[in-house]
Amino acid sequence: MYSPSIWAGWYRGVYRDYEQALVDARAKFPRLFHAEYGADAHLGRHTETPITGAGIQIDSGVAESVGQVVRNIAREGDWSESYQTDLLDWHLMVSERLPWFVGSAQWPFRDFATPLRPDNPIPYVNQKGLVDRAGVRKDAYWVYRSYWTTSPEFVYLLSRTWTERAGPAGRPRTVRVYSNCASVELFANGASQGVRQRVRDDFPSQGLCWSVTFRDGANALLARCTSGDDRGATDTLTVRYGRPAGTASRIELAARALPNGNTLVEATVVDASGRRVLGFQERVFFSHNGDGALVVDHGTPTRSSVVEAANGRAAIELSLPAGARAQVLARTQDINGQRLDVVGRR
């Protein structure tokens, strides 16, 4: 059996090339299995306009006009969960509808350490996993579950790590649901947005996709199964929506306790008016003075002293004994560092 190297939409080409690549490989290799495909994604990074299946980057401005063609998405793409989800959704759709195709294996299930790739969003970590190194699920995990599980029924609103969104007032935004239910109804702020049928070849999210006009501020979303015995499956999500922020101006720091006893120090990049800059994705550098220690070198988004921002936010865990005191500094290459005094909880 032979597995060709096909990385449609990542190291070469676009993800809409995938089916033709398989057809071409079948003509050459009668015993065919595709052993490796995927895309890197930095947990928590999302975009309203991911690179399309034709490799085109849509301008995220008010006009949302078609931008440039991205020649190599691995090097030039945004490494968002949004793009990874689209790519894997397309690959699964193609795989499921080709009766002669034996199968494939996404690479890999979990992010992993590598001696290469120091410039990745988390340095020295391959981020193609459906979960990160701590086992936290990326959105792409739910794509596979929607295709490959029948029980229990579930619905998943995109996305647990995308609760801050921005854009012009009155412009509809896409809301997706991944589910193994036959049909799903979406509610936004209590109003039904209609029922959608799940259809395998209806890309993206097998047709479970709505255009929703968010109001300024908090928006309550609810999705529920509406078919057969699936009516008990629901999911909820609150999305804050507002106009896009301006240029990154400063870092705001905050701390909160974690169930594991550590303190999470969160660095949010904001503009001059204090609005979170969702498009900011430069590296954030954390350092520490005083008692305790930063939890580092684990290769996860909250346990790395150097990590790229995901939608204008980065975070790190601090191990600090009760009553002890420490100071955490966060900075970027172009923004002056901010310090936060932290006292260990009793």
Q: What is the DSSP string of 251-313?
A: EEEEEEE-TTS-EEEEEEEE-TTS-B-TT---EEEEEEEESSEE--SS-STTS-SEEE-SSSE
Q: Give the chain's mean pLDDT.
A: 94
pLDDT for the residue 62: 46
Alpha helices in the chain (DSSP H): 18-28, 73-76, 81-97, 139-148
What pTM was estimated for this model as a whole?
0.95
pLDDT at 63: 46
Token reading at 342: 């932290």
Rounded distance between C-alpha atoms, residue 49 and residue 258, angstroms = 33
Q: Which two tokens stand for residue 89?
A: 């959704």
All domains of the chain in start order, with CATH: 1-136 (3.20.20.80), 149-244 (2.60.40.10), 250-343 (2.60.40.10)
Per-residue model confidence (pLDDT) at position 59: 67
* Per-position b or e across 205-243, b if 16+ CB within 10 A of its CB: bbbbbbebebeeeebebbbbbbbeebeebebebebebbe
CB 91 within 8 A of CB 18: yes
Q: Of 211, 208, 213, nearest to 196 (Cα)?
A: 208
Q: Is 132 left (phi over 0), alpha (psi -120 to 50) or beta?
A: beta
Q: What is the mean pLDDT of residues 247-270?
A: 97
Tokens found for residue 48: 């309203």
Which residue in the block uniquely carries the two structure tokens 């595709």?
34
What is the Cα 52 distance to its own chain's centre? 16
**Tell me, what's the pLDDT at 61?**
53
| Residue 60's pLDDT band (cuts 50, 70, 90) | low
Q: Place 66 in a pLDDT band, splitting at 50, 70 and 90.
A: low
- From CA 211, how far away is CA 265, in angstroms rounded? 35
Q: Assess whether pLDDT exceeds 70 at residue 230.
A: no
Average pLDDT over residues 109-113: 97
Q: Which two tokens stand for residue 279?
A: 């498009």
Once rounded to an integer, what is the mean pLDDT over residues 137-160?
96
pLDDT single digits (tens) 283-309: 999 999 999 999 999 999 999 999 999
Whole-number Å distance between alpha carbons of 334 and 336: 7
Confidence of residue 81 (pLDDT cuts 50, 70, 90): very high
